[in-house]
Structure 1
Amino acid sequence: MDAVLQVQVDGFRFENGSGSCCKPRNNNLESGTTNSFICFNESDESQSSNSSPTESTACSDYLPVFKYINDMLMEEDLEGQPCMLVDSLALQAAEKSFYEVLQDPSPPTSSDQIFGDLDQPNLDFVGFPEVTSDESMRRYRHRDDDDEDDDDLEGGRKTKLPAISTADELAEKYEEVLLICQKNTQGEASPNKTGRAKSSSNRSKQQKSDQPVDMRDLLMQCAQAVASFDQFRAFEKLKEIREHSSIRGDATQRLGYHLAEALEARLTGTMSTPISATYSITSMVDILKAYKGFVQACPTLRMCYFTANRTIFELAPKATTLHIIDFGILYGFQWPCLIKALSNREDGPPLLRVTGIELPQSGFRPSERVQETGKRLKRFCDKFKVPFEYSYIAKKWEDITLDELVINTGETTVVNCILRLQYTPDETITLNSPRDTVLKLFRDINPNLFVFAEINGTYNSPFFLTRFREALFHCSALFDMYETTLPEEDDCRTHVERELIVRDAMSVVACEGSERFARPETYKQWQVRILRAGFKPAKLNKLIVKEGKELVKQRYHKDFVIDNDNHWLLQGWKGKILYAVSCWKPAKK
């Protein structure tokens, strides 16, 4: 008899192909804690081996994904590989920066560039000297509360103004504009230098007495100083924020820490270089470990995959060939559950064709990582005896043509795009929106089904302060969600926050123009785009919505909310909508 194979990785124990993992106790779900876990076997998660896949259990079993991840962790040379998405975004940013260097300067044509000038006025015309972050901090540390020192510093500035007759008038007008802007945003005029000195001394007294602070208010004040190019006040606020924030603290402290990092990057221009030079890359092993912990504690990504897979499974119960064109396949985590469900189909599994589409990776082999995803899926299909074909494309999505997708006659075709279209540029970058171009390609494919899921985000405004305020509210909800559902000292939580919050927040806060790669929209804005591209809504099966609600109610925290708005399945936390899933079919031309 063969020796029993036992593998244990981060709490998941697999023995001769059977799996076990952990889920929170129901009583802890009600109390809001998830530190205590109980083990459950495959029979607790799914009865697919003893039931028909057409029943409600189809695609709800998530253990195939854990087995798939376990196989990945057994691979060699995995530790040194970066995250596929970060590597792709870094390459895109580098290409855009290099392209802009080669191009001649031209007048701004996009609304993002035009509106950006309102939030970031050019100070050269009034003769303000360029001040680096180090110089600003040195000046700040040597500032006194005495008004004479402020007058000397102000006098030093005036000596550097150009000797033109209109310089003083322009400077006065610029200060008046700043006062009006701050009246509109704060309800009061900007404090003078004496007021700043007094408020600084008051804050020092508060810090010494360890009085609580309003972190959101501090962050907004710092953002206002950054937007008005008041570097002294901005660094003053950053110092105060850092005294009350921590990367390992509670939700509010982590929120302050990471957004302060983003604001400082905007001040110092750190993010003007490609993301790979400033963003510490998380290894693939850490991402896999974080993913397993994340899906146990938060249902958001699992519900996106469950809704998509169940709808695809019910689309073609008699299909002989199922062709899935997956835009943003990454590691293929979505498909193990569907593969297992197809293997149990009464008439036998169909031929599963998957076209994996990703952005190119850096290096001499831009398609290597997406090829590896196909090999992993092939090995997984072989275990369940599902016929499988795989093809891949690694290029910018807006440059893909219909002929490259190789769609055969008579096959059931599905276009799948989960949480990735927000990284495609929109019309604020170029007049011919790449985002609309990709949606038009989806329509030209003429699929039997188009499955779409995205973040419900409102932080895509061309105005920095508006964008920062919306990002602040969105990130606050996410940090609160992870604090409630993930242990505070767990490295898994740090990696999840880094990949799902910090990366996009850094882009939204610190970057402008083509360097800002995260551009989310609300689900209603996405609906307008998709309708304009030539699709019509496909109603979600009420049974799928009901099962999703039951799944979240039984296994996850009580503050997770699942609801539907017509053909949209909405996921939220404490009443705030965070994710939206929908299905579409081509409209008749």
Structure 2
Amino acid sequence: MSKKKPNDSENDLLDGRCQKQIAVYSDAPDENEISDTILLLFGPKSTEEVRTIRKILQKEIRDEQNEAKVSERSMKQDNNYISKDSVDLSSLLVSCSEAVFTNDHQTATDLMKKIRECSSPTGDSFQRLAYYFMDGIEARLAGSGSEIYRRLISKQHTLTDILKAYPLYIASCPYVRSSFYLANQTIYNIAKDATRVHIINYGIFHGFQWPSFFEYFSDLRSTPPKIRITVIEEPEPGLRPNKRVEAVRRRSAFYAKQYNVSFEYQGIASKWENVKMEDLNVGKEEKVIVCCLVKSSMLPDESTAICSPRDTFLKTIRKIKPHAFIHGISNASYNSAFFLGRFRLALSHYTSWFDMIDSTLSRHNPERVLMERVMLIPDAINTIACEGLDRVDRPETYKQWQARHHRAALEQIPVDSMIIKNMKNFVRECYHKNFFIDVDDRWVLMGWKGRVSYAMSIWKPNEM
């Protein structure tokens, strides 16, 4: 069987340059379209594609900066011109949050009006951040935070939006692609001689990880092992709770067939903490690997339940007794029960993210707006506008997760040094100089300008 290879045309890289990449998909999308788009940016031969996109993006930024300088000189000739850059939006946002916290609605309203005048969804990094943070403040004051968050979540998971936003994200930020490489290479190192491999995948995010995984096994082994993937994802709202896990089943089966990989699939639509050992049908002859690269921060913690669902999740993994548990987490500390402290920490966290995006993407790129709305804004609004059980984004630092793993009797495994070396080389060669990859206490850390945004580690049950 011939193997499907990604289209290598430079004109097929960005929305607006190739209609193929932005086609609107129905619930049963054309699998060839999806395969080309995903493999282009996640496959093992995609480094040159990422470099090509980066060159296009860098040129867009340079052109935009030159135009901005000309425009700025023209506007400064107007004596009434006041630059938005001269307004300290950070201080205004903190003052506004303090007014909200003390129920000083008049001061909050006055500050919100001033912030709105100086913010914009197409401005610089902080103007954009302030604009969206105001959406969260307004929703909090109106008592509609949970409703707005649910509406944003229901909109953000269409395949069309994801496929439009992700090429830009992968080309501008190395976190997802690096995490897939670490996970897939680790799985291969553990299971390269196995005849049956069972991957238990918590938090699928459309199954983007698996096409390149199948390709990798197919390239390196003449007879790939029988691969079984069990996907666990929270039920979709509405009449089709299994919609997402079934969509991943269809696409994964398509990719497995393309690369001649024997493949089985089990989809479980359930809250992670409710999944039991017996639900997973683990076979005695299987090499078992548990993989969780996203959404740990969405698990409820001990502040919302007597028994922490996070601890229950980790204890279930220990019961599975996998050969490895690969865990990726968003590294942040804005999980305070008190609004004011949480707001300040979230402001610091998202300031770093928006600065990263502003340094790597043109401000007027339409897919940048989509990327921000799909990947950042829903969680930010949830953090600001929601309380109690409605506040679902509760990130912790890798040090806090380290303690949780130890309490669950899990033992840490060092990440292969060659994997780390390759990740560092890839980030240095393909991405902005302010990205970094480092190691601390056996965690692989990824971040921007010294701030750790994402962290990965590998664990196994402690048999002591």
Range class of TM-score, shorter chain: 0.7 to 0.9
Q: Which amino acid aligns with 1:502?
A: I
**Is the CA contact (8 Å cut-off) linking 2:165 and 2:370 kept in structure 1?**
yes
Correspondence for 1:480 among 351, 355, 361: 355
Shift of 1:251: 0.4
1:235 aligns with 2:235: no
Shift of 1:277: 4.3
Shift of 1:209: 4.4
* Structure 2: stretches of 5+ with no match in the other structure: 1-5, 21-31, 41-45, 63-79
Quote the Cα distance in structure 2 between the aligned partners of 1:344 and 1:330: 25
Quote the Cα distance in structure 1 between the aligned partners of 2:343 and 2:61: 36
Secondary structure of the equivalent of 1:390?
strand
Secondary structure of the equivalent of 1:518?
coil
Q: Which residue of 1 aligns with 2:91?
A: 217
Q: How does 1:343-422 map to 2 (within 5 A)?
A: 343-346=218-221, 348-422=223-297
Q: Which amino acid aligns with 2:428?
A: K
Shift of 1:274: 6.7
**Is the CA contact (8 Å cut-off) linking 2:327 and 2:456 kept in structure 1?**
yes
Shift of 1:346: 3.6
Q: Which residue of 1 aligns with 2:199?
A: 324
Shift of 1:379: 1.1
TM-score (norm 1): 0.67
Shift of 1:463: 1.4
Q: How does 1:289-328 map to 2 (within 5 A)?
A: 289-328=164-203
Correspondence for 1:226 among 100, 103, 112: 100
Secondary structure of the equivalent of 1:344?
helix
Q: Which residue of 2 aligns with 1:35?
A: 60
Structure 1 stretch 377-386 or stretch 208-217: which is displaced more?
Answer: 208-217
Q: Which amino acid aligns with 2:87?
A: V
Quote the Cα distance in structure 2 between the aligned partners of 1:326 and 1:538: 19
Q: Deviations over 1:73-119 (max 9, x none)?
A: xxxxxxxxxxxxxxxxxxxxxxxxxxxxxxxxxxxxxxxxxxxxxxx
**Is the CA contact (8 Å cut-off) linking 2:236 and 2:242 kept in structure 1?**
yes
Q: Which residue of 2 aligns with 1:23?
A: 50
Structure 1 stretch 487-496 or stretch 381-390: which is displaced more?
Answer: 487-496
Secondary structure of the equivalent of 2:107?
helix
**Is the CA contact (8 Å cut-off) linking 2:61 and 2:362 kept in structure 1?**
no
Quote the Cα distance in structure 1 between the aligned partners of 2:110 and 2:87: 15
1:27–1:580 CA distance, 2 compared to 1 (3 A): closer
Q: Which residue of 2 aligns with 1:245?
A: 119
1:210–1:544 CA distance, 2 compared to 1 (3 A): closer
Quote the Cα distance in structure 1 between the aligned partners of 2:123 and 2:104: 29
Shift of 1:284: 2.5
1:286–1:271 CA distance, 2 compared to 1 (3 A): same
Quote the Cα distance in structure 2 between the aligned partners of 1:208 and 1:262: 29
Shift of 1:22: 3.9
Q: Which amino acid aligns with 1:312?
A: I
Q: Which amino acid aligns with 2:382?
A: S
Shift of 1:398: 1.2
Q: Which amino acid aligns with 2:172?
A: A
Shift of 1:35: 3.0
Quote the Cα distance in structure 1 between the aligned partners of 2:53 and 2:289: 37
Q: How does 1:529-548 map to 2 (within 5 A)?
A: 529-548=404-423
Secondary structure of the equivalent of 2:344?
helix
Quote the Cα distance in structure 1 between the aligned partners of 2:53 and 2:145: 44
Shift of 1:24: 4.0
Correspondence for 2:299 among 415, 420, 424: 424
Shift of 1:261: 1.0
Q: Which residue of 2 aligns with 1:147?
A: none
1:27–1:492 CA distance, 2 compared to 1 (3 A): closer
Q: How does 1:74-93 map to 2 (within 5 A)?
A: none
Quote the Cα distance in structure 1 between the aligned partners of 2:150 and 2:210: 29
Secondary structure of the equivalent of 2:207?
coil
Q: How does 1:272-283 map to 2 (within 5 A)?
A: 272-273=146-147, 275-277=149-151, 281-282=155-156, 283=158
**Is the CA contact (8 Å cut-off) linking 2:149 and 2:381 kept in structure 1?**
no
Shift of 1:25: 6.2
Shift of 1:263: 1.0
Quote the Cα distance in structure 1 between the aligned partners of 2:54 and 2:461: 45
Q: Which residue of 2 aligns with 1:256?
A: 130
Quote the Cα distance in structure 1 between the aligned partners of 2:375 and 2:244: 21
Q: Which amino acid aligns with 1:551?
A: F
Quote the Cα distance in structure 2 between the aligned partners of 1:273 and 1:25: 41
Q: CA RMSD in A?
A: 2.7
Q: Which amino acid aligns with 1:584?
A: W
Shift of 1:281: 1.6
Shift of 1:286: 1.6
If you compute each CA radius of gyration, which structure gives the higher value, 1 or 2?
1
Q: Deviations over 1:294-316 (max 9, x none)?
A: 10111011111111111111112
Shift of 1:335: 1.2
Quote the Cα distance in structure 2 between the aligned partners of 1:409 and 1:447: 11
* Structure 1: stretches of 5+ with no match in the other structure: 38-206
Q: Which residue of 2 aligns with 1:496?
A: 371
Shift of 1:27: 10
Shift of 1:280: 7.2
**Is the CA contact (8 Å cut-off) linking 2:185 and 2:419 kept in structure 1?**
yes
Shift of 1:287: 1.5
Shift of 1:436: 1.0
Shift of 1:485: 1.0
Quote the Cα distance in structure 2 between the aligned partners of 1:277 and 1:304: 29
Secondary structure of the equivalent of 1:584?
strand
Q: Which amino acid aligns with 2:136?
A: A
Q: Which residue of 2 aligns with 1:467?
A: 342
Secondary structure of the equivalent of 2:206?
coil
Q: Which residue of 2 aligns with 1:122?
A: none
Identity among equivalent pairs (%): 39
1:443 aligns with 2:315: no
Shift of 1:368: 2.5
Secondary structure of the equivalent of 1:569?
strand
Q: Which amino acid aligns with 1:565?
A: D
1:272–1:371 CA distance, 2 compared to 1 (3 A): closer
1:345–1:209 CA distance, 2 compared to 1 (3 A): closer
Quote the Cα distance in structure 1 between the aligned partners of 2:83 and 2:148: 39
